[in-house]
A and B are shown apart, each in its own frame.
Chain A
Amino acid sequence: EAGVAQSPRYKIIEKRQSVAFWCNPISGHATLYWYQQILGQGPKLLIQFQNNGVVDDSQLPKDRFSAERLKGVDSTLKIQPAKLEDSAVYLCASSALENTEAFFGQGTRLTVV
Chain B
Amino acid sequence: QQQVKQSPQSLIVQKGGISIINCAYENTAFDYFPWYQQFPGKGPALLIAIRPDVSEKKEGRFTISFNKSAKQFSLHIMDSQPGDSATYFCAASWNTGNQFYFGTGTSLTVIP
Q: Which chain B residue has the least Cβ–Cβ distance from A102?
A: B100
A77 to B: closest C-beta gap in Å: 15
CB of B69 within 8 Å of the partner chain: no
B window 18-41: CB within 8 A of A: 32, 34, 36, 41
Contact with B along A27-60 (1 / 0, CB 8 A): 0001101000000111111001010000110000
- B residues less than 8 Å from A102 (CB atoms): 46, 100
Count chain A CB atoms within 10 A of each CB in B43, B44, B45, B105 and give the residue with the most: B43
Contact call A40/B105, Cβ cutoff below 8 A? yes
Q: Could you tell me if A104 and B93 are in contact, using CB atoms closer than 8 angstroms?
A: no
- Complex Cα distance, B91 from A42, in Å, reads 9
- Bound-state CA distance A100–B105 (Å) is 20
- B89 contacts chain A at the CB level, 8 A cutoff: yes
**In angstroms, how far is the closest chain B Cβ from the Cβ of A68?**
18
Interface residues of A (CB under 8 A from B): 4, 30-31, 33, 40-45, 48, 50, 55-56, 91, 93, 95, 97-107
* Other A-B pairs, 13, CB within 8 Å; known A4-B43, A56-B99, A102-B46: A33-B100, A42-B4, A42-B91, A43-B102, A50-B97, A55-B97, A91-B44, A98-B96, A100-B34, A100-B49, A100-B97, A102-B100, A104-B43
Which residues of B are in contact with A by a Cβ distance under 8 Å? 4, 6, 32, 34, 36, 41-46, 49, 89, 91, 93, 96-97, 99-100, 102-105
